[in-house]
C-alpha cells in the first residue's frame, strides 16, 4: 500500500503542475470519433505550427467528452488561464486559434466554444453551461475527455483506485452490501440488481471463480462502452478489481469487440500500468486478494453479448446460448462460478465505493438509482454521448440535450434492435427500466436513435429484423425460422406487395417468438415490429393499400424525376450517374430514363449541393399499378 | 510446417479455448483462413478441421477467400442506416461490380458490411483499410476510392 501511496502523491503533484501549467497545453479529442473527424491530422498541423513559429507546447490526446457533433474538438490551456475548448476545428481554423493564443496572447473569442474555468472568462461561456451539457449528470463519464487515458497517473490524481482501496479495507460482504444499498442495476440492458448476482456467485462453491467484463457492444447505434474504455480505461478496470474482490474471483477477462482496435490498445496499455503499480498480480497492495486480467477479442457475433453465448465464445466454441439454469453465477466459464458485468456497471462501481452508497442514491429515482449513459444519434441536431439521471424524460433528452430534430420528429428507438420504437405520445415517458418496458420497449444498453419524417418506419423495422435474423445463432426454431419469416413479410410490404392479413401474421409470429425463443436475442427480436405495428399502424397500411412510402425510402415504391422547369442543364448529375440514366445537352433540361435508374441517390445529392444546380431532381412516390 | 504458422502457434497453448485467438492471429498475418493453416491448427489443437470450420464460419470476422488490397467496410449500424448507409453500399456494389464479402477481379477492393463502427454521431461512415471516413455521400465515396490503388 505504501508504494502506491507514494505514487499517488507524485501523480497528484504532476496533476497540479498540469492544472497550474507553466507550459501551454493543447488537448486533442482523439477517441475513434474524433479520429474519424480528422483529429490526428490536427495534431500534426499543431506541431508544424509550433516548429514554424518557434513556440512550444505539450500536445495531449484525450478521449471523448461527448458532443460528437462538435468533433474534432481542440482545447488550449495557456498558463494562468482556464482551458478553452474549440469545436469542429479544421486546418484553417486551427491556425487562427493557435495564432490568437500563442502570438496575440488571447483566446479566439469568435471561435471559442466554452471554457473549463469556474469564473467568467472573456465573455466565453462555461463548457458545462452549454445546453447539451447542462442537464447532464456525469458520474461514469466524469473523466472522459479531461484526462489522458494513456496515463495512469492522471487517473490516480483524480482519486482513481480510491474506491478499490476502500473496498480492500472492508470485507467482500460489505462491498456487496454497499452496492445493494446503492441500488445499482446491471447496465447491460436487463437491469438485474448487481448485488443479487454477486451474492449467488459469492456463495457458490468453487476454487476458481471468474469475472467477465462484457464489452461486446454489438448493438448497432450504440458506442457508450467504446467511448468509456477509450477515454477512461482505468475506471472500468478498477471496477473489475472491486467486483472481483466482492465475488471472490482471481481471474478477470475483458471480452471486447475486435472492431474496437483503439479501445483494445488502451486497455492493454492500462493493464500493463496496473501491473507496474502493483494493482494486479498476487496479494495486491499487501492484501490477500490476487487478481489477473486478460483480454479476449470477440470475433463478430452479436449474440455473444448474451451471457452463455459469450462464455461459449471464450471457451473457443460457436457462440451459442444454452438454456438457464444453471446460471453462470453458479456454473459459467469452464463450469466455474462466473459473473458477467457490463462495462458501464463496472465503470460505476469505483464511484459508488469512493463516495458511498448514500451519495449514489441521490441520483435517479426510487428503484432506478443513479445515471445511465446513452449514445444519442440519428436525425438529431446534437448527437453524442450523454449521461443522465434515470427518470429523465425522453423529451428532455431529445430536445434539451439533443437540441431537437431538424424536420418534424417521428419516433425514437430505445434499446437498439432488441428495443422498441416509440412515437411522439411517449415523449414524456421517463427513462427507467420499468417505464420503457411498459411501453413495449426496453432500456437496453443505451442506444437512442431519433427519427424524423424522412425515416420510413416499416423500413426501419425491416432493418432491425434483417439484423437479428442474420445474427440469430440458429439453435432454437422460434428465432431461426420466426425472424426469417417476419423479415420476408416485411420485404413484401416494403415492395408494395403486402396484404392486410400480413399484419396479423406479424403479430402472431412476434408473440410466438417472444414466448418461445431460448435467449434474450430471440425474445426481444420482435420488439421493433410489434411496437411499430402498435404505434405506426397507418404507415404499414399505406404501404399495403396505397403502395406509398411517405418517407420516400422504400426503393420499389419511389422514383426519381427531373423537374424540367427547375433544371438548369448543368450536367452535374449526368457526370455522376453510374448507369447513364440521365442524359441531355448542356443548358437544356435533362432526361431521366427510369428503366436504367438504380435509385442510388448520386444525382439527388449533386442537385442539392452543387451551386449551379437547381434542386431539380426529386424523389417521389412511384405510380404503381395496383 | 511453414515458418509463419509455426510462429503463430508457438505463441498459444494447446487448450481448445485458444482456437479463436489463433484464428484471429492467422487472419492478421495471412488476411484470411487458408486450407494449409487450418490443417496446421487442426493438428496442433487436436480438433478436426470440420470443428474449426464450424467455429470460424459462425463469426463474422473470419473470411475464407483472399482479401483485396484495400478492404472497404460500409457501416450499416442503425444511425448509418437512417442516414443512407444502405444506399452507399448499393451504389458501391454496383460501381465495383461485386457483392458484399467478395473481392474485385483485379484484387483492388473487397467489400463488407459491418454492424456498427461506433462512430454513430458522424454517420454514415465507411472504413477503408484502417481509416474511417465520416459523413459520407455516394459521390464523396466515389471520389475517395480514387486515392486507393
At residue A605's C-alpha, the angle toward residues A601 and A611, to 5°, is 155
Instruction: Give CA–CA dist A421/A439, Å, rounded.
Output: 9
Same domain, residue pair A253 and A402: no
Among A59, A61, A76, residue whose Cα is nearest residue A127 = A76
Q: Are residues A211 and A309 in the same domain?
A: yes
ipTM here:
0.91
Note whether A252 and A244 are within 8 A (CB).
yes
pLDDT confidence tier of residue A445, bands split at 50, 70 and 90 = confident
Q: Is B25 touching A (CB cutoff 8 A)?
A: no
- For the stretch A500-513, what's the b/e string if a residue is b when 16 or more beta carbons lie within 10 angstroms of its beta carbon? eebbeebeebbeeb
In a domain, A155, yes or no: no
Provide the CATH number for the domain around residue A480. Answer: 1.20.1440.230
d(CA A428, CA A533): 21
Which H or E run contains A84? strand A84-86
Q: Inspect the interface and report whether the beta carbons of B139 and A576 lie closer than 8 Å.
A: yes
How many residue contacts between A and B have a Cβ separation below 8 Å?
164
Whether A118 and A168 share a structural domain? no
Name the residue in chain A with its Cα closest to that of B97. Answer: A578
What's the confidence (pLDDT) of residue B119? 80
Q: Which pLDDT band, with edges at 50, 70 and 90, does A540 fall under?
A: very high
Of B82, B84, B90, the CB nearest to A378: B82
Pairing type for strands A617-621 and A558-562 reads antiparallel
Chain A residue with minimum CA distance to B139: A602
Whether residue A186 sits in one domain with residue A314: yes
3-state secondary structure of A273: helix
**Contact present, A581 and B94 (Cβ < 8 Å):** no
Separation in Å, CA of A299 to nearest CA in chain B: 5
Give the domain CATH number at A414: 3.10.20.600
Total tally of structural domains belonging to chain A: 5
Min distance B137 CA to chain A CA atoms (Å) = 8
Residue A107 has pLDDT above 80, yes or no: yes
Q: Is the pLDDT of residue B43 over 90?
A: yes
Q: Tell me the nearest-neighbour CA distance from B102 into chain A, angstroms.
A: 18
Any A CB within 8 A of B100 CB:
no
CB contact under 8 A, B138 and A460: no
Residue to substitute from B63, B74, B82, B135, interface A, most A β-carbons within 10 A: B82
Alpha carbon A400 to chain centroid, angstroms: 19
The grid coordinates of residue B65 equal 477467400
Q: Could you give the domains of chain B?
A: 3-58 (no CATH), 70-145 (3.40.30.10)
> How far away is chain A from the Cα of B84, in angstroms, using its nearest Cα?
9
Residue A120 resides in a domain: yes
Same domain, A354 and A299: yes
Looking at A360, A389, A409, the residue that finishes a domain is A360
Helices (H), A343-393: 343-355, 357-360
Residues A479, A394 share a domain: no
Residue B140, min C-alpha distance to chain A (Å): 10
Q: Name the band, by pLDDT with cuts 50, 70 and 90, for residue A624.
A: low
Contacts of B116 in chain A (CB under 8 A): 218-223, 259
CATH number of the domain within which A569 lies: 3.30.70.20
Query: Which residues span the domain enclosing A590?
Result: 555-621
Cα–Cα distance measured from residue A514 to residue A518, given in angstroms and rounded to the nearest whole number:
9
Single out the residue of A242, A244, A237 nearest to residue A208, CA to CA.
A244
Same domain, A330 and A374: no
Residues A523 and A390 in one domain: no
Tell me what the mean pLDDT of segment A42-61 comes to: 94
Q: What is the CATH number of the domain that holds A103?
A: 3.40.30.10
Average confidence (pLDDT) over B38-59: 96
Largest CA distance in chain B: 51
E-assigned strands of B18-108? 70-75
How high is the pLDDT of residue A33? Answer: 82
Put simply, the answer to whether B58 touches A318 (Cβ < 8 Å) is yes
Which among A257, A249, A209, A215 has a CA at the least distance from the CA of A233? A215
Domain final residue pick, A408, A423, A452? A452
Flag if B91 and A600 touch (Cβ within 8 Å).
Answer: yes
- Mean predicted lDDT score pLDDT of chain B: 92
Neighboring chain A residues of B21 at a CB cutoff of 8 Å: 296-297
Question: At residue A625, does pLDDT exceed 60?
Answer: no
Q: What value does the mean pLDDT take over residues B71-88? A: 89
- Within a domain: residue A152? no
If pLDDT is split at 50, 70 and 90, which confidence band does A550 have? very high
- The arithmetic mean of pLDDT across residues A174-196, rounded, is 95
Chain B residues touching residue A71 (CB < 8 angstroms): 121-122
- Please check whether residues A293 and A221 belong to one and the same domain: yes
Band of pLDDT at residue A334, cut at 50, 70 and 90: very high
Q: How far is B1 from chain A (nearest CA, A)?
A: 23
Whether A346 and A462 share a structural domain = no
Give domain status of residue A151, yes or no. no
Q: Within a domain: residue A212?
A: yes
How confident is the model over A407-438, as pLDDT tens digits? 999 999 999 889 999 999 999 999 999 999 99
- pLDDT, one tens digit per residue, over A353-411 is 999 999 999 999 999 999 999 999 889 999 999 999 999 999 999 999 999 999 999 99
Query: Which residue does chain A place closest to B133, by CA atoms?
Result: A36
Sign of the Cα torsion B110, B111, B116, B117 reads positive
In a domain, A110, yes or no: yes
Q: What is the CATH number of the domain that holds A236?
A: 3.40.50.11540
* B144/A contact by beta carbon, under 8 A: no
From B76's Cα to the closest Cα of chain A, the distance in A is: 8
Put simply, whether B77 touches A (Cβ < 8 Å) is yes
Chain B stretch 110-139, residues whose beta carbon is closer than 8 A to a beta carbon of chain A? 114-123, 125, 130, 132-134, 137-139
In this predicted structure, what is the pLDDT of residue A188? 87
CB-based contact, B48 to chain A, within 8 Å: no
**Has residue A581 got a pLDDT over 90?**
yes
User: Which of the listed residues A321, A340, A360 is the one where a domain comes to its end?
Assistant: A360
Query: Could you report the per-residue pLDDT of A194-249, keeping only the tens digit for each?
Result: 999 999 999 999 999 999 999 998 888 888 999 999 999 999 999 999 999 999 99
Residue in chain A closest to B14 (alpha carbons) equals A316
Q: Nearest CA to CA, how far is A257 from chain B (Å)?
A: 10
pLDDT-based confidence at residue A626 (cuts at 50, 70, 90): very low
Helix and strand element counts for chain B (H, E): 7, 4
The pLDDT of residue A189 is 83
Q: In this structure, are residues A445 and A189 in contact, taking their beta carbons and an 8 Å threshold?
A: yes
- Residues A310, A302 contacting (CB under 8 angstroms): no
A141 vs A156: CA distance, rounded Å: 16
Across the interface, of A260, A297, A416, the residue whose CB is closest to B24 is A297
| A516 and A559, same domain (yes or no) | no
Indicate which of B48, B120, B135, B138 best probes the interface with A, i.e. most A CBs within 10 Å of its own CB. B120
Q: Are residues A541 and A561 both part of a single domain?
A: no
| Of the partner residues A36, A379, A605, the one whose CB lies closest to the CB of residue B122 | A36
pLDDT tier at A280 (50, 70, 90 boundaries)?
very high
Average pLDDT over all residues of chain A: 94
DSSP characters over A337-406: -EEEEEHHHHHHHHHHHHH-HHHHTTSEETTEESEEEEEEEES-SS-EEEEEETT-BHHIIIIIIS---S
Contact B22, B15 (CB under 8 A): no
Contact indicator for A221, A450 with CB cutoff of 8 Å = no
Spatial contact of A428 and A394, defined as CB atoms under 8 Å apart: yes
CB under 8 Å to B88, separation ≥6 — which residues? B74, B124, B126, B136, B137, B138, B141
Nearest residue in A to B63, CA atom: A299
Chain A residues touching B59 at Cβ < 8 A: 298-301, 319
Residue A1 has pLDDT above 80, yes or no: no
Minimum-distance CB partner of B18 among A316, A375, A576: A316
Q: Which residues in chain A are closer than 8 Å to B134, comparing Cβ atoms?
A: 33, 36-37
Query: Nearest-CA residue of chain B relative to A453?
Result: B82
Decide if A504 is inside a domain. Answer: yes
Amino acid at each position: 500500500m505504501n508504494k502506491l501511496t507514494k505514487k499517488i502523491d507524485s501523480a497528484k503533484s504532476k496533476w497540479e503542475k498540469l492544472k497550474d501549467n507553466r507550459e501551454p497545453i493543447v488537448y486533442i479529442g482523439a477517441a475513434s470519433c474524433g479520429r474519424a473527424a480528422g483529429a490526428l491530422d490536427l495534431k500534426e498541423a499543431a506541431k508544424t505550427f509550433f516548429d514554424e513559429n518557434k513556440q512550444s507546447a505539450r500536445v495531449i490526446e484525450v478521449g471523448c467528452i461527448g458532443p460528437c457533433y462538435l468533433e474534432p474538438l481542440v482545447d488550449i490551456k495557456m498558463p494562468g488561464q482556464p482551458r478553452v475548448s474549440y469545436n469542429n476545428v479544421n486546418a484553417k481554423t486551427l491556425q487562427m486559434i493557435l495564432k490568437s493564443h500563442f502570438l496575440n496572447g488571447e483566446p479566439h473569442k469568435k471561435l471559442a466554444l466554452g471554457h473549463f474555468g469556474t469564473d467568467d472568462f472573456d465573455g466565453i461561456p462555461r463548457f458545462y453551461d452549454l445546453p447539451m451539457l447542462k442537464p447532464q449528470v456525469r458520474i461514469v463519464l466524469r473523466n472522459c475527455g479531461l484526462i489522458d487515458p494513456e496515463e495512469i497517473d492522471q487517473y490516480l490524481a483524480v482519486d482513481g483506485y480510491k474506491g478499490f482501496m476502500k473496498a480492500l479495507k472492508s470485507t467482500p460482504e460489505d462491498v456487496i452490501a454497499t452496492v445493494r444499498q446503492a441500488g445499482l442495476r446491471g447496465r447491460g440492458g436487463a437491469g438485474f440488481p448487481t448485488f443479487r448476482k454477486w451474492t449467488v456467485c459469492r456463495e457458490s462453491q468453487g476454487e476458481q471463480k471468474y469475472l467477465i467484463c462484457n464489452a461486446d457492444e454489438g448493438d448497432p447505434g450504440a458506442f457508450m462502452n467504446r467511448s468509456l474504455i477509450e477515454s477512461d480505461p482505468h475506471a472500468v478496470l478498477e471496477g473489475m478489481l472491486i467486483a472481483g474482490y466482492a465475488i471472490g474471483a482471481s481471474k478477470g477477462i475483458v471480452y471486447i469487440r475486435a472492431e474496437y482496435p483503439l479501445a483494445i490498445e488502451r486497455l492493454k496499455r492500462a493493464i500493463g500500468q496496473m501491473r507496474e503499480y502493483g494493482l494486479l498480480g498476487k496479494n495486491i497492495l499487501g492484501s490477500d486478494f490476487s487478481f489477473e486480467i486478460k483480454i479476449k477479442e470477440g470475433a463478430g457475433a452479436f449474440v455473444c453479448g448474451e451471457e452463455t453465448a459469450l462464455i461459449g465464445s471464450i471457451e473457443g466454441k460457436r457462440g451459442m446460448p444454452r438454456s438457464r439454469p444453471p446460471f453462470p453465477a453458479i456454473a459459467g466459464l469452464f463450469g466455474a462460478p462466473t459473473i458477467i458485468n457490463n462495462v458501464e456497471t463496472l465503470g460505476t462501481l469505483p464511484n459508488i465505493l469512493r463516495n458511498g452508497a448514500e451519495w449514489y442514491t441521490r441520483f435517479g429515482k426510487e428503484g432506478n438509482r443513479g445515471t445511465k449513459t446513452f449514445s444519442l444519434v440519428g436525425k438529431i441536431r446534437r448527437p453524442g454521448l450523454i449521461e443522465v439521471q434515470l427518470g429523465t424524460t425522453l423529451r428532455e433528452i431529445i430536445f434539451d440535450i439533443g437540441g431537437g430534430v431538424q424536420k418534424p420528429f417521428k419516433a425514437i428507438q430505445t434499446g437498439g434492435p432488441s428495443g422498441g420504437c416509440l412515437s411522439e405520445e411517449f415523449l414524456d415517458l421517463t427513462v427507467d427500466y420499468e417505464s420503457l418496458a411498459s411501453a413495449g420497449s426496453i432500456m437496453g444498453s443505451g442506444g437512442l436513435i431519433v427519427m424524423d419524417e424522412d425515416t420510413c418506419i416499416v423500413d426501419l423495422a425491416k432493418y432491425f429484423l434483417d439484423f437479428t435474423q442474420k445474427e440469430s445463432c440458429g439453435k432454437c426454431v422460434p428465432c431461426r425460422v420466426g425472424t426469417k419469416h417476419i423479415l420476408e413479410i416485411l420485404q413484401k410490404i416494403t415492395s408494395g406487395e403486402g396484404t392486410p392479413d400480413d399484419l396479423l401474421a406479424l403479430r402472431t409470429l412476434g408473440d410466438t417468438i417472444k414466448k418461445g425463443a431460448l435467449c434474450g436475442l430471440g425474445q426481444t427480436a420482435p420488439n421493433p415490429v410489434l411496437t411499430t405495428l402498435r404505434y405506426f399502424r397507418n404507415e404499414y397500411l399505406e404501404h399495403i393499400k396505397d403502395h406509398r412510402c411517405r418517407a420516400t425510402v422504400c426503393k420499389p415504391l419511389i422514383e426519381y424525376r427531373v423537374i424540367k422547369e427547375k433544371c438548369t442543364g448543368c450536367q452535374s448529375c449526368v457526370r455522376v450517374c453510374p448507369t447513364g440514366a440521365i442524359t441531355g445537352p448542356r443548358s437544356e433540361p435533362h432526361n431521366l430514363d427510369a428503366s436504367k435508374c438504380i435509385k442510388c441517390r448520386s444525382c439527388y445529392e449533386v442537385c442539392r449541393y452543387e451551386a449551379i444546380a437547381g434542386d431539380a431532381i426529386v424523389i417521389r412516390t412511384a405510380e404503381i399499378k395496383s | 510446417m511453414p515458418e509463419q504458422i509455426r510462429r503463430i502457434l508457438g505463441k498459444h497453448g494447446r487448450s481448445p479455448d485458444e482456437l479463436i485467438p489463433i484464428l484471429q492471429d492467422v487472419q492478421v498475418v495471412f488476411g484470411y483462413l487458408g486450407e494449409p493453416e487450418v490443417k496446421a491448427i487442426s493438428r496442433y489443437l487436436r480438433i478436426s478441421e470440420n470443428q474449426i470450420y464450424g467455429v470460424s464460419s459462425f463469426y463474422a470476422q473470419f473470411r475464407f477467400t483472399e482479401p483485396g488490397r484495400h478492404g472497404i467496410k460500409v457501416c450499416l449500424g442503425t444511425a448509418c442506416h437512417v442516414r443512407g448507409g444502405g444506399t452507399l453500399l448499393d451504389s458501391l456494389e454496383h460501381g465495383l461490380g461485386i457483392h458484399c464479402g467478395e473481392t474485385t477481379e483485379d484484387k483492388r477492393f473487397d467489400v463488407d458490411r459491418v454492424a456498427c463502427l461506433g462512430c454513430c454521431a458522424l454517420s454514415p461512415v465507411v472504413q477503408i483499410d484502417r481509416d474511417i471516413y465520416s459523413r459520407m455521400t455516394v459521390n464523396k465515396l466515389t471520389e475517395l476510392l480514387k486515392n486507393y490503388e
